[in-house]
Amino acid sequence: MSARAVTHLEWLGRAEALKLPDRLVIDGRLVPAKSGAVAPVVSPRDGACLAEVGDGGPADTDGAVAAARRAFEDSNWSRLAPAQRKAVLHRLADIIEANRDELALLISLEMGKPISTSWAIEMRTTINCYRWYAEWADKLSGETPDVGSDALALVTREPAGVVGVVVPWNFPMTLAAWKIAPALAAGCTLVVKPSELSPLSMLRLAELALEAGLPDGVLNVVTGGPDAGRALGLHPDVDVLAFTGSTAVGRHYLRYAADSNLKRVWLELGGKSPALVLPDADVQAAAATVGGNIFFNQGQMCTAPSRLVAHRAVHDELLAAVASVADELRVGDPLDPATQMGPLVSAAHRSRVEGYVEQAAAEGARVVTGTAASPRPGPATGWYTSPTVLDGVTAGMTVAREEVFGPVLAVLTAEDVGSAIALANDTEYGLAASVWTRDVSLAHRVSRRLRAGTVWVNCYEEGDMTVPFGGYKQSGNGRDKSVHALEKYTELKTTWIAL
């Protein structure tokens, strides 16, 4: 079974028949916002209102945190035998997989991701994440250091408590899973605040978690805007806050922690990731991979390779090849399985992205293909834009320094390997990078000099749950994925016993 096994017409029919979640999930119950307020969820594919969802605020956040605290202190989740937590998490993964079509459809409707991508990539990574951390639930162990014959020292790893999770709209299931799954495996309870642009899939997942047997109050979801997120960040009874989003908003969460209870704040933030293509590289492979990834998910990825650093020796061939990738992309309705690039998430975001292209042209960059060179693709309604390639970009241009978060590739030219590394590191971000060369020794030397949390060599966006993910510099702190993520949701306790 795959998304392509269902026709465009069939996906449209399923969308019309879909029952959309619209209530907050607090303490095991589906409830409206306490104020009675609702907010529309608008589909970027056609501008239609999908549903009116509870617009939660501080009062709802208070109720959700109180429920999570009761569940942590009074229920048996944190003290449940690890093997039993493992079984519940496996049931949750099974139920998510059984509802894969519905969740993939919700993602495509609410944020515009092509259905083939939602089904085959986002849902696959989400299911794998819950299964992977389910297996870790009964494998976390403590230590017994040898402190001599007069005492016994025990170091135990315990759940951190109530975890607040704030996630963006671009990967509403995957990015949430990277935080929810390890926190649950460790025995924590959670309050999740999804983006107001894409709350539907997260609400549905919380309903499925109850079906899987997660106790009431263990996983709560409060939908709403900045007020709900601010209340979670400031709440004195939240022990850990995990956030994925922009660097600007990440700074707010650090301030909230300083102004409340000094909760631990883990941040996965923006990126301006470079792809260095060196003279001996396979230019066609580099162009196909970099082009495929900057336009993947409409360029709405923190790791998107938005800066292509081309050695002058390969610049012309590389530019032509990557422009061809952009020109050949099929932009259209995300519910069409043949679509490769859907719309941007909102009208405001499209204006922002296209504004960067206009500013780049005004600063001296050349629009090779894309927004300013061709009419907008896609249906007449909805927030579609063109995959865009800019050449002649220099390090000081705005498009080379700020995160566009759209399908815009800035091509910079390097005279030699040293200047390519300097261009790559000339950014406040440090989330990811890639190096393209056939010289293994050179690949190692260049990778070691790049200031980024992940460096791919002759590939991009490769990996699995075993490897950590996170950034240097203003791309954040801590790591999602891998066993290292569990460190964010646990505390170490030393018990010293005199003998």
Q: What is the pLDDT of residues 2-59, one digit of tens each?
A: 777 899 999 999 999 999 999 999 999 999 999 999 999 999 999 999 999 999 999 9
- Give tens-digit pLDDT for 412-455: 999 999 999 999 999 999 999 999 999 999 999 999 999 999 99
Q: Which of 400, 50, 31, 408 is nearest to 223 (CA)?
A: 31
Least confident of 250-259, 315-324, 369-378: 369-378
The two tokens of residue 312 are 């002058």
**Catalytic residue, candidates 110, 196, 302, 354:** 302
**Catalytic residue, candidates 110, 122, 196, 268:** 268
Q: Which of 270, 273, 216 is nearest to 243 (CA)?
A: 270
Q: Which ranges of 260-384 does DSSP label H, i.e. alpha helix? A: 283-294, 315-328, 347-362
The two tokens of residue 318 are 């590389």
- Give tens-digit pLDDT for 108-145: 999 999 999 999 999 999 999 999 999 999 999 999 99
End-to-end CA distance of the chain: 62
Centroid of chain to Cα 127: 15
Q: What is the DSSP letter of 118?
A: I
Q: Which ranges of 56-190 does DSSP label H, i.e. alpha helix? A: 58-73, 82-98, 100-111, 115-117, 123-136, 174-186
Hunting for tokens 């026709």 — which residue is that? 7
What pLDDT does residue 1 have? 59
Hunting for tokens 């459809």 — which residue is that? 105
Name the percent of the chain lying above pLDDT 90: 96
The b-or-e profile of 413-448 (16+ CB within 10 A means b, else e) is bbeebebbbebbbbbebbbbbbbbbeeeebbeebbe
- Give tens-digit pLDDT for 163-201: 999 999 999 999 999 999 999 999 999 999 999 999 999
Active site residue 302: yes
Count of CB atoms situated within 10 Å of the CB of 466: 9
Centroid of chain to Cα 102: 20
Whole-structure pTM over 0.85, yes or no? yes
What pLDDT does residue 75 have? 78
CA distance 9 to 13: 6
The helix-helix angle for 283-294 and 315-328 (nearest 10°) equals: 40
pLDDT exceeds cutoff 90 at 374: no
